[in-house]
Amino acid sequence: MESSHTVNLSNDDAFVAFSNPNEDDFLLHLCDHVFAGLSDKNLNEYDFVSMPFVSDPLLNSFFKYKETFINQDFSFFSKHTKVFNITSKTDYFSDVTELVNAFKVSELNKAVYSRKIKIENPSLDMGEVFRKLRLKYPKAFTFIYNIPKIGCWVGATPELLLKKEGDSLITVALAGTQKLFKGVDNVIWGQKEVDEQAYIKSFVKNILTEQGLSFNESATSTKKAGDVCHIFTEFKLDIPNSIAKLIKDLHPGPAISGSPKEMAIECILALEKHKRSFYTGFLGEIKEEKLNLYINLRSMEVLEQCFLLYVGGGITVDSRVEDEWTETELKSNTMSSVIK
């Protein structure tokens, strides 16, 4: 549906708006919303999903489209409120130092440590913020969604989890973040980033092999994502009998948790002073013919009084705390540049 007027949305409206990478159009959907578990049945019954970092029956969210608009101007002012913790620089340096020391005496090789940044919200219209995100990051999956009584999230993420392409599925191994000053051919990666991406690539290959899936692997290269770039490998694979099982095995992967995966998740839940909620979860369209899922990165939670930006990075025994802090600052620019 196309409309000449602006659609005014409220906190009581469940809605989703998004645009896929390199697409000129965006869709706004008014929805019914339910909390449900990840299953093949639900992947086919509903239209859009947003899942948290760790499965939570109070957050696992599925949306059913009721009314759809194409390139529709919309207005939304968040009225959500919550009590929250912010990671200070002192806490960040202390926690990351503790992590680095833990690597020396345990089997933990990497842990993705995140922090929250608070930016005051001068009553910005989120319809306008979403429009600016789309213009600034046309190669990202840009999104905004609202769940009544839960929250509103908006972002522009570069990281694909899984998508349907013809008779195949596509997934990726992506790691490392670097400011892009010239073309990708001029980017030089350190050994830490190279090793990190190699581990993620090995993790994906092992999952696909264990599920008995045939796949083709691309050459590893540097990929541009807005003002930054990443190390990137793409996998094209057969469609499995259970897409839900494949998603559960792939997520949360080492790029957003660490390695070994279960040990890293346990460490994250114990050390981080905030709940990640939907940050580093995944979201996107579902149903077999439209499957297009992305990791919830470069995103923020929209409250009435402020924005909460979530950023993180992979910590290893070779990490320098100051460098890791700088990387999170760089990643926060994706969102802060359109709201400050």
Residues 240-288: tens digit of each pLDDT: 999 999 999 999 999 999 999 999 999 999 999 899 999 999 999 998 7
Question: Please, which residues bridge with residue 312 across strands?
Answer: 114
Place 193 in a pLDDT band, splitting at 50, 70 and 90.
confident
Inform me whether the pLDDT recorded for 59 exceeds 90. yes
H, E, C per residue of 168-207: EEEEEEEEEEEECCCCHHHCCCCHHHHHHHHHHHHHHHHH
Q: How does strand 7-9 pair with strand 74-76?
A: parallel
In the prediction, which pLDDT does 219 show?
95
* pTM of full prediction above 0.85: yes
The type of residue at 181 is F
177/228 Cα distance (integer angstroms): 6
pLDDT at 278: 98
pLDDT single digits (tens) 226-241 = 677 889 999 999 999 9
Domains of the chain: 7-339 (3.60.120.10)
Q: What percent of the chain has a predicted confidence (pLDDT) above 70?
A: 99
Identify the H or E element spanning 94: helix 89-103
| Confidence category of residue 340, pLDDT binned at 50, 70, 90 | confident
Structure tokens at 241: 């009998």
Say what the pLDDT of residue 229 is: 85
| Rg, C-alpha atoms of the chain | 19
- At residue 195, the pLDDT reads 86
Alpha carbons within 13 A on the beta-carbon side of 160: 22
CA atoms of 182 and 74, how far apart (whole Å): 36
Q: Is the pLDDT of residue 9 over 90?
A: yes
**3 pLDDT above the threshold of 70:** no
pLDDT in tens, 297-307: 999 999 999 99
Residue 316 confidence (pLDDT): 87
| Burial (Cβ within 10 Å: 0-12, 13-18, ≥19) of residue 101 | exposed
pLDDT for position 143: 98
Which residues lie below 8 Å from residue 309, measured CB to CB, with a gap of 6+?
A: 116, 117, 118, 119, 299, 300, 332, 335, 336
Confidence label for 4 from pLDDT (cuts 50, 70 and 90): low
